[in-house]
Structure formats: structure tokens, C-alpha cells
A and B are shown apart, each in its own frame.
Chain A
Amino acid sequence: MSSVGAASPQTAQAADYSVSSRGTRLLGVFILVSVPVLLLFAFVFTEADDTMEDAVRLLYIHVPVAVLTYVAFSLTAVGSVAYLWKRSRWWDTVAHAAAEVGVVFCGLTLVTGSIWGRPTWNTWWEWGDVRLVTTLVLFLVFVGYLAFRSVPAEPETRAKRAAVIGIIGAINIPIVNRSVEWWENNTLHQQSSLTDGQLEDLTLFTWFLGTVVLGAIFVWLLITRFRLAWLEEEIDRHGLVTALEERRAESHVGVEAAVGGSVVGGFQDNPGGPQ
């Protein structure tokens, strides 16, 4: 990234205007291979659950996605605090990228949870469930965060205000959770399917595999989104500089044409001299 300033615009384009690297390409290959393996385990090798039946297969995705949602939004909060502290663009971009991936994963959590709830609880949506309602409010808070980030503004102003929104959004999570918990004291949600000892080894392994695969997808998305956001701002910042250089080059050509070849010759003879 740092070579953008040093290199000429042409070489910078070739070297840096890409969101992939050797690491992310390898990660991408791993994801492409591991997703079919996960599907095999989820649909072929594991048995249906005694009580949840085939719906249990959704949990191989639902639970990792839900956990990663919280990881993402925590990362946004950390990035926001670090931005206000260090005022570095790097942390602001981390917060932005994490929020965007987090909203996608949060949406997936809600959708997979809702699909799972239909056969299991016999309803698409249950207002009495703490985690369901908390997650929905969380989703809306961070949709608002992204809406704010998409507004055209001066980068520093936007970064500062977005950091405050990100931090307040994170502070809000436990308050929402507590209030919803009190609101309806009965919860339908599975408390701890992982620890109640009813799961078979293969089910547990598939769950673990799902966490690894979705974790890899999460990391890949996060890194790629970070690079993209970084390049977007790079274009914003360097767009004017590049345009000015091009404009100057044009006028230089104009001077050459008017005065004749001697001017160019003079510059070439004295590269270190005044221009």
C-alpha cells in the first residue's frame, strides 16, 4: 500500500490496485475446497437429530454465523475506540469493513434462525425470545451505521462520527439484551445445545468444521473488504493529485509546441536544474 505515494501512477496501478494477495488467494482455495466437504458432512455423514430432526443441519451454519456476528461488531467497537485514540485511517477502515461483514453475517443469523424456528418452534418469529429480538435491534443499529458511512462527507469528519456511532452501538448491545430479557421472561432459545452432552461426536465435529469454514469465509471477506475500502479512499485522495499532474503534463506539451524543441533539450541536458 505504501508504494502508492512513491511509485509513478502507472506502476502503482499495476502493483496495488488489487484486493487479492497470495494469502487471500490461498484462503480462497481453502474455502472452495472446504465448503463442499462441510456440505457432505452436514447432509450425508451426520444423522438427523432425534428431536430437531433435519433442522439440526441448519445449526452447523447458524451458530458459527451468530458467533462471528458478535466478533465482527466487537471488532467495529475496537476499531472505533482505536481510531479516536490514534486517529489512524487504518483503524477506521477496520471498523468499517468489520461492520459491513457483520451486517451480512447478522442478516444470515436472522434468516437461518427464522428458517430453523419454523419447524422447531412452529413459528417464523418469536417476540418472546431474547436473542432473536436483541439480534434484530443490533442488525438495525449497524444498518444505521453503514447508512451513515455511505453519506458523502469529509473523510476525517465521517471517521470521527462513525466511531462514536460504532461505540454507542456496541454499548447498546448489553442494554438491549437485558431489557429484552426482562421484557419476556420466557425464552424459547436453545440454551446450550453444545454442552448438554446429547450431541454425538460426528455432529460435534461437523459443528467444529462449520466454525472453521465460516471463520475462513469471514476472514477472507474482512480482508478483501478492508483492502477495497482502503483503495476507495486512496482513489479519493490521489484522484486530485493525479488529475493535477495530468493537467500540468498537458500544459507542458503546450509549451513545447509553442517554444520549440530547444526547451525540451534544455531540460534534458540539466535534469537537476530549475524547471
Chain B
Amino acid sequence: MLADAWLVAAKDLKVEWRARIIINQVAPFTLLIVVLFGLALDADPETLRNTAPGLFWVAVLLITLLAVQRGAAIETSDGAQERILLSDLDPAAVFLGKALALLVQLLALEVLLGVAIVVLFDVSVGDPLLMVVSALAASVGIAAAGTIYGVLAVGLGVRETLLPILLLPVLAPVLISATRTFGDAFDRVDADGWAWLGMLAMFGVIYMVSGLLAYGVLLEET
């Protein structure tokens, strides 16, 4: 199953690398969000530093929407999903592969976003390890949930408007937990970031398992 999953992930990433939608469009959008937050909030560095953890994760949720839309678009164009079904791959492997591809893209964008926030908002990172580990854990959960909801709206003609209302409320626990871990890593809040990491890991596991179980039902006859 892992070999099949890797096949699907490599396929998605290869399509992305050739089309360069994420690099040419979503990455600049990521920087744009940081600039917009800076303009909207205040020129006061202290305000920006205090809100940086929350802004980082709100920005991640926004770029997740774009990345998920893009992933679903790859899957629906030219009847790609039917070919996947015909290939007789295990739906769980397809889910795992698509989630992995989304995870890689999200992590790349988060690196860019992190650098932008640290430089433009003048944030000092007190605990880099916590920051990296929690970003990884949160992104696993986001990628799993995003992959499930990405396929839900396929073929209904309303994907762009339906996805945010379905996906964002479900990701509320990730936003809360990841903001806390980053707040701790940036020395901005008095919270135990490592305890919050447990919440992120639990979310990731639950959504990974849900996806592995549910993807077969969602793929059939879509």
C-alpha cells in the first residue's frame, strides 16, 4: 500500500512541478497575506509580534484552501479520477498519496510563510524545535482533512464555494492548538506548547484514520 501511496504522491507532485501553479500563484499569495496583515493591523512591531502565531495559522488555512482546490482540480480534469479507479489502486493508498503530496506542498509554503513572518514581523523564535515539530504535526492533520474534503465537492460544480464552509470549521481545533504551540515557541504566551502538541497529534491521527476508512466510499462513482 505504501508503494502505491508513493506512486500517487509522486504523480501529484510531478503534475504540480510541471504546471507550477503553487509556485507561481500560491507562493506569492502567501507573501501577500503577510503584507496585508501587516498593513491591516498596525505598524507597531509589538502588536505584530503578539499576533504573529495566530496570523501564521490563519494564513496556512487560507493557502490550504487553494492547495486543496488545486489538488481536486488535477483529479477531475481529463477524467483523471476514473483512471485512478480503473488502475485498481487501494482507495486508502490513493488517500495516503494525495495527503502526502498536499503535506509536502503545505510544508514548503509554511517555510516561506515562516521566513516572511520572522523577517517582516520581527519575531524571535525561542524554541525552534517546538515550532518545527508542531508545524509538522498540524500540517499532517490539515493535509488529511483537506484531502477528505477536497474529494467531497468533486463533480458538483460548486467546489470553490463549498470547500471553505466545509473545511474551515473542522480545522478550528488545529488553529487553536497550533496557535498555542507557536505562541509558546515565540515566547509570546504562557502556555505549555508541548502539551498542545499532543492535541495536534491526536487530530492528525483521527483524520488520517478517517480518511483511510472513508476514501473508498467517497471515490466510488464520483
Q: Contact string, A130-165, partner B, CB cutoff 8 A, digits 1/0? A: 000000010011011101100111001100110111
6 sample A-B contacts, Cβ–Cβ < 8 Å, listed by A number: A140-B169, A164-B152, A164-B217, A167-B210, A171-B206, A172-B170
Q: Which of B10-18, B19-27, B67-75, B173-181 contacts A (4 or more CB under 8 A)?
A: B173-181
Instruction: Check A180 for interface membership: any CB of B closer than 8 A.
Output: yes
CA distance A148 to B217 in the complex (A): 17
Give which listed residue, B156, B162, B203, B222, contacts A175 with CB less than 8 A: B203
Instruction: Check A178 for interface membership: any CB of B closer than 8 A.
Output: yes
* Contact in complex: B148, A161 (CB < 8 Å): no
A142 to chain B, nearest CB (A): 9
Instruction: Check A179 for interface membership: any CB of B closer than 8 A.
Output: yes
* Contact in complex: A141, B170 (CB < 8 Å): yes
Chain A, range 219-246, C-beta contacts under 8 Å to B: none
* Contact in complex: B148, A168 (CB < 8 Å): yes
* Given the contacts A140-B169, A171-B206, A160 and B162 also touching, CB distance less than 8 Å: no
Chain B, range 176-222, C-beta contacts under 8 Å to A: 176-177, 180, 195-196, 199, 202-203, 206, 210, 214, 217-218, 220-222
- A140: chain B residues at CB < 8 Å are 165, 168-169
- B40: chain A residues at CB < 8 Å are none
- B152: chain A residues at CB < 8 Å are 148, 161, 164-165
A182 to chain B, nearest CB (A): 7
B181 to chain A, nearest CB (A): 12
CA distance A117 to B27 in the complex (A): 43
* Given the contacts A143-B165, A144-B165, A168-B210, A179 and B148 also touching, CB distance less than 8 Å: no
* Contact in complex: B217, A147 (CB < 8 Å): no
* Contact in complex: A183, B214 (CB < 8 Å): no
* Contact in complex: A165, B166 (CB < 8 Å): yes
**Interface residue count for B (Cβ, 8 Å)?**
30
Contacts across chains A and B counted by CB atoms under 8 Å: 75
Q: Which residues of A contact B (CB under 8 A)?
A: 84, 137, 140-141, 143-145, 147-148, 151-153, 156-157, 160-161, 163-165, 167-169, 171-172, 175-176, 178-180, 182-183
* Contact in complex: B180, A137 (CB < 8 Å): no
**Does more than half of chain B's interface fall in helix, strand or loop, or is it mixed?**
helix
Give which listed residue, A84, A153, A171, contacts B217 with CB less than 8 A: A84
* Contact in complex: A161, B170 (CB < 8 Å): no
Instruction: Check B172 for interface membership: any CB of A closer than 8 A.
Output: yes
**Does more than half of chain A's interface fall in helix, strand or loop, or is it mixed?**
helix
CA distance A172 to B168 in the complex (A): 12
* Contact in complex: A169, B218 (CB < 8 Å): no
- B165: chain A residues at CB < 8 Å are 140, 143-144, 147
- B222: chain A residues at CB < 8 Å are 157
* Given the contacts A141-B170, A160-B217, A168-B210, A179 and B177 also touching, CB distance less than 8 Å: yes
Instruction: Check B3 for interface membership: any CB of A closer than 8 A.
Output: no
- B170: chain A residues at CB < 8 Å are 141, 168-169, 172
- B43: chain A residues at CB < 8 Å are none
A164 to chain B, nearest CB (A): 5
Give which listed residue, B155, B199, B218, contacts A160 with CB less than 8 A: B218
Which residue, of A151, A153, A160, A164, has the highest number of chain B Cβ atoms within 10 A? A164
Instruction: Check B158 for interface membership: any CB of A closer than 8 A.
Output: yes
* Contact in complex: A182, B166 (CB < 8 Å): no
B50 to chain A, nearest CB (A): 16
